[in-house]
Structure 1
Amino acid sequence: MERCSLALLAPLLLASAPSALAASSTDLSVTGLITPKSCTPILSSGGIVHHGKVTVKDLNPDQPTQLETGTLYLYVNCEGATMFTLTTIDNREGSSAIDPHHHGLGVINDDQHLGSVAFGLFDAIADSNPVKTIMSSNDGASWRVSPYLGHAGLTAFAMPTDLGTPIAIKDLHTRLSAVTTIVRANDLTLTDAVPIDGHVTVQLNY
């Protein structure tokens, strides 16, 4: 009886409610990664590069002016050896006036981009061993030696004997260099004091 009833119900449903069987669909995925170890990044000096007061006469009128290089130290401490990469988020996105791969210093007078700041990582020590800073501009498909730290690529670290392979690290210590450049003074209206307003988030990715 059960088998006959099912066979009879099928044509009745098709006849009485044809729209119920017509549908479109799309897929939704929920993804993520639960890691057994966590890492904590720390920047010295509260993560602040302070250039103090810069006067108009300190700026070149017809070419960009590079300010004194700022130095901080970046520490990454993990619960155990962990594979991670570093990148940045430019919180002044779109205001970099020197190089789009660098970070902006904000906008003054409504539409004048003040300059750019570039970051590099040098003299890296990973678990008591000197290592090289490497970067990838193709989401990790390949790596090359470069001190670059920014939003245009991934930064990792490698042993000097294998520069194409990022390594897992427990404790990292590296010098962070900040090179700030102001656009030429002739391109700015500087009748009042204006802030150098770069703001960047350093992001650690597992």
Structure 2
Amino acid sequence: MERCSFALLAPLLLVCAPMALASSSTEMSVTGLITPSACTPSLSGGGVVDHGKVTVKDLRPDQPTALENGTLYLEVNCDAATPFTLTTIDNREGTSAIHPNSHGLGVINGDQNLGSVALGLFDTVADGVAVKTIISLNDGATWRVSSYLGHAGQTAFAALNDLGTPIAIKDLRARLTAFTTIVRANDLTLTDEIPIDGYVTVQLNY
């Protein structure tokens, strides 16, 4: 339809306005990256940290309460040694009540943020060798040792003799610890049973 309309209208434009016609254009690029290998992350225990039932009397009235740490194991398996980074997506974005770089636990009673959960990676082994967890807060320009795993930076892994350079890895295993904290009980309306509702996606980029 567009081609037909243009072909019919063009002669009329030439007759009525015998001046030079202007033209304009825009450009489109098609990009992507074909990688020689693929990597798959997985979490033990179905990726669930279950704190069970926490009673009101277990919560401190005037300061945040740290629950018992939760432990999962993170594995990344690649077809070949591959450089990659890890980040997270906080699916309860905006509800972290303790620290903005942690992950939220949801909202109760319509407007009360329940708490936060921070994640850390420890005892990391890459291809059978102990390595250090490192983090970049400036999109990979510089790196430093940190166990942090979250949405505020990129996490990678370094050899013990070169802590500033991420390495390529085929198989990785690390202990993932969840540090869950509930806000002061005095800041919550606790008349009914309420869920601890943290939901985090671990994202692998390579």
Please show how residues 62-73 of structure 1 align to structure 2 within 5 Å.
Answer: 62-73=62-73
State the 4+ residue runs in structure 1 displaced beyond 4 angstroms. Answer: none
Q: Distance in 2 between matches of 1:43 and 1:197?
A: 18
Deviations 1:70-120 (A, max 9, x none): 000001111000000000000000000000000000000110000000000
What is the root-mean-square deviation of aligned Cα atoms in Å? 1.5
Cα gap change, 1:17 to 1:150, in 2 (>3 Å):
farther
How high is the TM-score relative to the length of structure 2? 0.89
- Who is 1:137 aligned against? 137
Deviation at 1:16, TM superposition (A): 2.4
Deviation at 1:34, TM superposition (A): 1.3
Q: Distance in 2 between matches of 1:17 and 1:73?
A: 73
- Who is 1:59 aligned against? 59
Q: SS of 2:46's equivalent?
A: helix
Task: Give percent identity, aligned residues only.
Answer: 74
- Who is 2:128 aligned against? 128
Cα gap change, 1:67 to 1:21, in 2 (>3 Å):
same
Q: Does 1:180 align with 2:162?
A: no
How high is the TM-score relative to the length of structure 1? 0.89
- Who is 1:196 aligned against? 196
Cα gap change, 1:90 to 1:17, in 2 (>3 Å):
farther
Q: Distance in 1 between matches of 2:58 and 2:19?
A: 80
- AA aligned to 2:131 is V
- Who is 2:103 aligned against? 103
Q: SS of 1:139's equivalent?
A: coil
> How many residues are matched?
192
- AA aligned to 2:22 is L
Unaligned runs of 5+ in 2: 1-13
- AA aligned to 1:161 is N
Cα gap change, 1:93 to 1:27, in 2 (>3 Å):
farther
